[in-house]
Structure 1
Amino acid sequence: MTNTESSRIIVIGGGIAGLASAALLARDGHSVTLLEARHELGGRAGVWNAEGFRFDTGPSWYLMPEVFDHFYRLFGTSSAEQLDLVRLDPGYRVFFEGDPSPVDIKAEREENIRLFESLEPGAGAALARYLDSAKDTYDMAVHRFLYSSFASFRPFLVPDVLKRLGRLARLLLQPLDKFAAGYVRDLRLRQILGYPAVFLGSSPDQTPSMYHLMSHLDLADGVLYPQGGFSQLISSVADLAVREGVRVITDARVTGILTSPNPDAGKAHVVTGVSFVGTDGLPTRLEADRVVSAADLHHTETQLLAANEQTYPEKWWKGRTSGPGAVLVMLGITGELPALKHHSLFFTKDWGENFGRIFGKNPSVPSPASFYVCMPNATDPTVAPDGHSNLFVLVPIPADPGLGHGGIGGGGSDAIESIADAAIAQLSDWAGIPDLADRVVLRRTVGPADFAVDLNSWRGGALGPAHTLRQSAFLRGSNASRKVEGLYYAGGTTIPGIGLPMCLISAEILLKRIRGDVTTGPLPEPARRPEPKPR
């Protein structure tokens, strides 16, 4: 089969990467069926409704808006038409251990430069230089690296890349924490610049400083929020897929990727379809010319393929670094919580010890922990009943399913509920909300074992493989099987990496791989009228 032929394609997994991949492939003329194991779509970007509260159970930061804009424009629409986006100001609030004065990160670059200057003389000018570097690196990444399948390295032999080789090498070899320390001395400011590593499933001392580009996103670009929550984003992408003709089947758990000996030279096997179990509990076979797995890559390789068909067998994974696990705590609270913003971050003083417990050779649960809190009712009144607040707490911990499951009303494993209790107490103390625990009217927790069971997540991780040097760009792996012709991958566990924007890009890289397109930039867009800016 040639790259341009229309084919029957099965996409495994109905998270954002699977939905986006299916939509793009159907738009390109293929006959696409998407199989999702659970009853609802969204994958990690799930939603939980209970007692008038609505919680996003996964991603909650809307960054890299141009990636979403580009994806929608490929379908002749726009972010502004699909979503009701609001710019958050402040973008987020940061609480520091032992410091009674939290810091608010503003929506505009110049305001944040003034903020840094107020906290450390000279830090404003330093931040300006830092953000200039971040913008230059971000633009280079978008145009030369993020949208590449790395199927060929020839497109990288261009002047704008070659003249930056020395700088790129330094950014890859120097960790983010040391890079940030070269600009500012104040621990609070270094933590603000280093925390984006957590979005990448890593720690500041293991993340290449190449990723200081992330600071361009929150300190200069600003943080957006789709009214109604991130389920609105999932619904919009799912609607696009269906509009393009994708057949979506939920409650369909894929049990194997079917292959046969490859009669052509090259890979030893060729994909023929998948087997799955539907709502009737009976095994079903579905034929296909190509299969795209947007499920967890470890699960795909080690559970859905025979040993001699695996590009990434178990021994390969033993040399990889997982991103963190997490305890998620969803709380319905009576009354308002003015001390918190839509996004709030809580940072301990000893980051080295904190991250060492999560990623070290002998991992353990940090105490106290650095964690993240989302209170979407600060922006969106639909997520909580009148007179109530909605809290989503994410506590990074080691990726270890043995720590247990979460539950409703304190019904999770002892270890998970203990971590949740400690986070609630710490939040109460640091934010000055002494009666917080007494105001909880709804509680649900999620632990690493839930990520492993519900999402087939490798080691129960909350995000995917960490973005260390050995797990970034082409070193992260390929989005095409080396053993099975017609088998491809998409999503946060393959290239380019973790996060909703990266998952949308992974879908586009997949399409380019199938087309045989080795260009490094986004696909050309159809012409459109100018779009209104988010309010």
Structure 2
Amino acid sequence: MSGTTRDARGRAGSDGRRAVVVGGGIAGLATAALLGAEGYEVTLLEARDQVGGRAGLWRSDGFAFDTGPSWYLMPEVFDHFFRLLGTSADAELDLVRLDPGYRVFFESEPPLDVRSDLEGSVALFEEVEPGAGERLREYLRVAADTYDMATRYFLYTTFASLLPLMRPDVVARLPRLARLLTRSLEDHVGERFADRRLRQVLGYPAVFLGSAPRITPSMYHLMSHLDLADGVLYPQGGFAELIERIRALAEKNGVDVRTRADVVRIETEPLDDDAAGASSSGSADRLRPLRRAGRAALRRPVARATGVRVREADGTVTTLPADVVVSAVDLHQAETRLLPAHLRDHSPRWWRRRLPGPSAVLVYLGVRGRLPELEHHSLFFTEDWQHGFDAIFPRGTRHTPSGGPDVPFPSPASLYVCRPSATDPGVAPEGDENLFVLVPVPADPRLGRGAVDRAGDPWVEAVADAAIGQVARWAGVPDLAERVVVRRTVGPADFAEDLRTWHGTALGPAHTLAQSAMFRAGNASRKVAGLLHAGGTTIPGIGLPMCLISAELVLKRLRGDTSAGPLPEPQAGTGAGTDPGTGTGAGTGPGAAPGARRA
């Protein structure tokens, strides 16, 4: 890359280029850390008083609750990210393998413990449905191959160029890939397994994608490889510890992390065709990689980002100049709140045609005494779980209709319970339990907010009461409600107002065919040069690993790297791997590394 230098620590220098990252969730922190390691002068601005976004931390009476993500899957993605910063997941985190990976409760059948390895999963399926064990083995073999192809060619690309995808091994798989993309996960599972419980175990990964089995492309059966063969891990200290480690790495690389700093506008200036960034500050050189990476865009930029306007904690509003602005907040918020209408990539009509993933009622419970009936992860599946999915994704519509508090709350509901105190003694007082309950609900802020000690809106608190009662009955803990000493709820309006998410979704746009891979919103503004995006609402999608990859895709954009694979990892004892200016991207990351870490 023209003008690239390296400092004493081996970091790529960038001639004092300034970057502002908006949003301190995992995507924002990861992006800031990578840009800092690249040599940028980085300021990260977070509106709330703590970083983490959805992956926050709430403490009460000796209990410590992760407020959002709780599954550690795709461990090689985490390890690759840490290795880009000269460390490793093993060095940064104390990871524990869960076995069983999770327990599944059913309405009228005994629970199933899903093991955390291939042979255990095969044995379980064979026990439930004779012949299903070997079918699962083949199912997971194809899932592993699909996952490998995805990590090699589809997750780590910006889609700025499709040429890197025109490889013989990709072309040879195109017929199978077409089938996987054009049929649903529900149908893909249903033609292979007859037992309803097994179908539900294989269909539930759609929820991790903010979707439902009947509208999720069967390509995402690759998700079952992650939990049934690859295994489920947990970082001691919770996911708040993961956030703190990434923040520490960002600050180690010079990032200025500022909380209670609310960005109110992305500053821009017009960009003439003849003067593409040629300002007195030398921005032509600084924007050259951006222009090179953006040539495949449908429209030329009409402006360039020059910084942000920030409302500080004391109410004062200041301007922070920057050569690059990275929005790591919800894409809808970034476009409708931070940019004027003429600089938005997506029209109101485009947004109306998008499908939000579900929202959720979250319940944080501190419980006196032990709960051995629950595993670290427990899933509760109703017999008619399709009814619950249809309430969130009504058939025959392109969007979630708003019904407000008149919408009947799901009871019984297919829901999820995390009991981290089964693994981590630091999240609850000795002898007590920490529970996180998630009930998927429609993405509609009018359903209400939650609060502490039953002070939330009636609909949200009713959902929480019903979920607690259901867990008590199905898991055989009749006195569960009486043992609760700490209770806090979160509702769709909390996601919409506190996290400023589109429609109050808890995850982001659903992973339907029209909202996956190259069809998902891209990470570079087509109208504003120097404005990039990261996080679950852009490529590659929803989830902590995807957010880490989205941070890497920002760096690839800035380098003008259009390759399909992960970036090269620094060699041991050096500050850099292959010269980033080559843009090859053929590194030692997921899907490419002989030594890529797997749990």
Query: What is the TM-score normalised by the length of structure 2?
Result: 0.87
Residue in structure 1 matched with residue 208 of structure 2 by the alignment = 199
Contact 1:327 1:394 survives alignment (8 Å):
yes
Is 1:249 paired with 2:258? Answer: yes
Is 1:303 paired with 2:333? Answer: no
Residue in structure 1 matched with residue 199 of structure 2 by the alignment = 190
Residue number among 200, 210, 217 corresponding to 2:226 in the alignment: 217
* Residue deviations 1:415-466 (CA, integer Å, cap 9, x gap): 1000000000111111111111111111000001111111111001100000
Is 1:124 paired with 2:130? Answer: no
The range that moved more, 408-417 or 308-317, is: 308-317
Distance 1:203 1:375 in 2: 24
After superposition, where does 1:134-533 map in structure 2 within 5 Å? Answer: 134-263=143-272, 264=275, 266-360=300-394, 361=397, 364=407, 365-528=409-572
Distance 2:526 2:596 in 1: 44
Contact 1:302 1:314 survives alignment (8 Å):
no
User: What's the CA shift for 1:270?
Assistant: 0.9
Contact 2:357 2:508 survives alignment (8 Å):
yes
Contact 1:400 1:448 survives alignment (8 Å):
yes
User: What's the CA shift for 1:183?
Assistant: 1.5
- The change in CA–CA distance for 1:534 and 1:319 in structure 2 (over 3 A counts) is closer
Distance 1:368 1:318 in 2: 31
SS of residue in 2 equivalent to 1:225: strand
SS of residue in 1 equivalent to 2:59: strand
Unpaired segments ≥5 residues, structure 1:
none
Distance 1:492 1:366 in 2: 26
* Residue deviations 1:12-50 (CA, integer Å, cap 9, x gap): 001110010011111111111110001101001001000
SS of residue in 2 equivalent to 1:127: helix
User: What's the CA shift for 1:531?
Assistant: 9.0
Contact 1:3 1:514 survives alignment (8 Å):
no
User: What's the CA shift for 1:174?
Assistant: 0.6
Give the AA of the match of 1:374.
C
Give the AA of the match of 1:37.
A
Distance 1:38 1:350 in 2: 40
The range that moved more, 69-78 or 524-533, is: 524-533
Is 1:30 paired with 2:31? Answer: no
SS of residue in 2 equivalent to 1:124: helix
SS of residue in 1 equivalent to 2:111: strand
* Residue deviations 1:232-254 (CA, integer Å, cap 9, x gap): 10000000100011111110000
User: What's the CA shift for 1:391?
Assistant: 0.6
Give the AA of the match of 1:443.
R
SS of residue in 2 equivalent to 1:168: helix
SS of residue in 2 equivalent to 1:259: strand
User: What's the CA shift for 1:267?
Assistant: 1.1
Give the AA of the match of 2:46.
E
Contact 2:410 2:463 survives alignment (8 Å):
no
Distance 1:3 1:261 in 2: 26
User: What's the CA shift for 1:3?
Assistant: 9.5
Give the AA of the match of 1:282.
T
Distance 2:80 2:191 in 1: 34
Residue in structure 1 matched with residue 59 of structure 2 by the alignment = 49
- The change in CA–CA distance for 1:497 and 1:533 in structure 2 (over 3 A counts) is closer
Distance 2:2 2:380 in 1: 52
Contact 2:411 2:467 survives alignment (8 Å):
no
SS of residue in 2 equivalent to 1:442: strand
Unpaired segments ≥5 residues, structure 2:
5-13, 277-299, 574-593
* Residue deviations 1:375-432 (CA, integer Å, cap 9, x gap): 0010011110112111100000001100111000000000100000000011111111
Distance 2:332 2:515 in 1: 14
* Residue deviations 1:493-534 (CA, integer Å, cap 9, x gap): 100000000000000011001111001111111234999989
SS of residue in 2 equivalent to 1:510: helix
Contact 2:260 2:312 survives alignment (8 Å):
yes
Please list every run of at least 4 consecutive aligned residues from structure 1 whose deviation after the TM superposition is greater than 2 angstroms. Answer: 1-6, 263-266, 361-367, 527-535
After superposition, where does 1:8-19 map in structure 2 within 5 Å? Answer: 8-19=18-29
User: What's the CA shift for 1:353?
Assistant: 1.3
Contact 2:539 2:550 survives alignment (8 Å):
yes
Contact 1:80 1:533 survives alignment (8 Å):
no
User: What's the CA shift for 1:74?
Assistant: 0.9
* Residue deviations 1:176-207 (CA, integer Å, cap 9, x gap): 01101122110000000000000000000000
Distance 1:534 1:231 in 2: 22
Distance 2:49 2:383 in 1: 42
Distance 1:199 1:288 in 2: 35
* Residue deviations 1:451-494 (CA, integer Å, cap 9, x gap): 11111110011000000000000101110001111100000010
User: What's the CA shift for 1:313?
Assistant: 3.0
Give the AA of the match of 1:490.
A
Distance 1:206 1:497 in 2: 16
SS of residue in 2 equivalent to 1:110: helix
Contact 2:230 2:598 survives alignment (8 Å):
no
SS of residue in 2 equivalent to 1:301: helix
User: What's the CA shift for 1:351?
Assistant: 2.1
Using the aligned pairs only, state the percent identity: 61
Is 1:110 paired with 2:110? Answer: no
Contact 2:75 2:597 survives alignment (8 Å):
no
Distance 1:322 1:531 in 2: 37
Residue in structure 1 matched with residue 82 of structure 2 by the alignment = 72
Contact 1:369 1:395 survives alignment (8 Å):
yes
Distance 1:366 1:297 in 2: 29
- The change in CA–CA distance for 1:154 and 1:180 in structure 2 (over 3 A counts) is same
Residue number among 106, 123, 128 corresponding to 1:96 in the alignment: 106
Distance 1:419 1:394 in 2: 10
SS of residue in 2 equivalent to 1:373: strand
Residue in structure 1 matched with residue 279 of structure 2 by the alignment = none
Give the AA of the match of 1:336.
R
Distance 1:531 1:46 in 2: 32
User: What's the CA shift for 1:75?
Assistant: 1.2
